[in-house]
Amino acid sequence: MSISDKSVAIIGAGPAGLMAAEVLVTAGANVDVYDAMPSAGRKFLMAGKGGMNITHAEAFEQFLTRYAGHRRDLEPSLRDFNPESLRAWVKDLGIETFVGSSGRVFPCEMKAAPLLRAWLHRLREAGVRFHMRHRWQGWSSGGELSFMNNTGELSIKTEAAVLALGGGSWPQLGSTGSWQTLLAQRDIEVVPLKPANCGFEIAWSEYFRQRFAGQPLKSVRLTFTNAHGATFSQTGELMLTDYGLEGGLIYACSALLRGEIVAAGSANILLDLCPDRDIRNISARLSMPRGKTSVANHLRKRLNLEGAKSALLREVLSATQLQHLQKLAGTLKALPLTLSATRPLAEAISSAGGVGFKALDSHLMLHQIPGTFCAGEMLDWEAPTGGYLLTACLATGRTAGLGALRWLQQN
């Protein structure tokens, strides 16, 4: 039996599943993609609404460090399909890219829709068949893949399958995490899903919440050290919310913060509100005579500090402490905030946890179910925003697709 006589089911029409489908159909396999949603790539499209960040242009060794404790698991896939490979692949779809000032890589149009349209067109032209509104139900008693669609239950027999069902964030777009139960029933190791790249809760005063929720904190430095001595310190932007904080800067250390909250019940961070000034400069400027000028106006005139940053000082310092120059200067460089909890998984940009790599071979095939492969965010890994999430989803989709192809060739 040749490859063209063999069929593969891809379950999940996100980036990982579509990449696996492309690898397999290019090699001549019969490929059917199933998804519970009415159309493909819904989370991909949503993620691209604010500017489609596809990967990052930093040095590759630095790029690999962004996957932290999961680097070893992901590195073979990322070396096979690295950021340069991804950009070349996007260009082959007719989409030009550019590198932003932060090193992030974007399509020139800054949108996900043109890329997805071109990709789906190429897949359909190559012979991939799409079956939308097909919700995977696991396996039948005979080992066939079971789906529920508008007409009822459907069983499919294939020579191989790739599971690319996503994590548990943004469930309204299809990633519900319901597959966890189905795999656990087959004694497959599944690490519980947790929020990643998520917001964190802080007990703001009612005044602060009402006046400043929704305002940005630009150019601040966040520093955090956990109980084991692991330290994060980075400059960026945050967004004040009615529940606490969100934004790229806190997303970048969400794994450390989440772990500390689980272990200790809370996490204490420090914000440097004036990262471009040292403590001596701040003290000297605050020491200038202010006469009858209020502390708020003195901060505005001497340090160009106002609005949300000024309000944060009043949130953590008493009226007496605000008058104490040394205390005020020290707080400007290290304002303490206590994070009490992560926001719910459904609100997170991505999720941590998933199918453990010990349950998979080097081709991402499940040991327990030969011929079945896993890819994308349903695997146990996490990464910050900045193009790292999409790159790893595509890379593991490629690895799973190549693994399925190898399986078809050998069986």
Q: Domain ends where: 313, 342, 371?
A: 342
Q: Same structural domain for residues 214 and 113?
A: no
Instruction: Give the three-state DSSP class for 243.
Output: coil
Report in angstroms the alpha-carbon separations of 408 from 127, 336, 361, 371, 401.
Answer: 18, 57, 16, 8, 11
Q: Same structural domain for residues 42 and 73?
A: yes
Q: Same structural domain for residues 238 and 333?
A: yes
Q: Can you read off the two tokens belonging to residue 304?
A: 């160009």
Q: Same structural domain for residues 154 and 300?
A: no
Q: Can you read off the two tokens belonging to residue 33?
A: 């993609």
Give the whole-angstrom CA distance, residue 376 versus residue 16.
Answer: 5
| CATH number, domain containing residue 404 | 3.50.50.60
Give the whole-angstrom CA distance, residue 173 versus residue 154.
Answer: 23
Reading the chain (411 residues) residue by residue, the pLDDT tens digits are: 677 788 999 999 999 999 999 999 999 999 999 999 999 999 999 886 777 899 999 999 999 999 999 999 999 999 999 999 999 999 999 999 999 988 999 999 889 999 999 999 999 999 999 999 999 999 998 889 999 999 999 999 999 999 999 999 989 988 899 999 999 999 999 999 999 999 999 999 999 999 999 999 999 999 999 988 889 999 999 999 999 999 999 999 999 999 999 999 999 999 999 999 999 988 888 788 877 777 778 778 887 878 899 899 999 999 888 888 889 889 999 999 999 999 999 999 999 999 999 999 999 999 999 999 999 999 999 999 999 999 999 999 999 999 999 999 998
Q: Same structural domain for residues 316 and 223?
A: yes
Q: Domain ends where: 342, 357, 392?
A: 342
Give the whole-angstrom CA distance, residue 133 versus residue 37.
Answer: 5
The domain of 327 spans 200-342
**Residue ranges of E strands in 159-214:** 160-163, 190-196, 200-201
Give the whole-angstrom CA distance, residue 142 versus residue 154.
Answer: 13
Q: Same structural domain for residues 147 and 8?
A: yes
Give the whole-angstrom CA distance, residue 393 versus residue 382.
Answer: 10
Q: Same structural domain for residues 335 and 366?
A: no
Beta strand 350-355 pairing with 190-196: antiparallel
Q: Same structural domain for residues 257 and 181?
A: no
Q: Same structural domain for residues 49 and 176?
A: yes
Q: Same structural domain for residues 335 and 269?
A: yes
Closest CA to 100 of 248, 254, 277, 251: 248
Report in angstroms the alpha-carbon separations of 31 from 162, 265, 296, 374.
Answer: 10, 47, 64, 16
The residues pairing with 6 across neighbouring beta strands, listed in sequence order, are none
**Residue ranges of E strands in 158-273:** 160-163, 190-196, 200-201, 216-225, 231-240, 244-246, 267-272
Q: Domain ends where: 326, 342, 358?
A: 342
Instruction: Give the three-state DSSP class for 228.
Output: coil
Q: Same structural domain for residues 349 and 334?
A: no
Q: pTM score, two decimals?
A: 0.92
Q: Same structural domain for residues 291 and 243?
A: yes
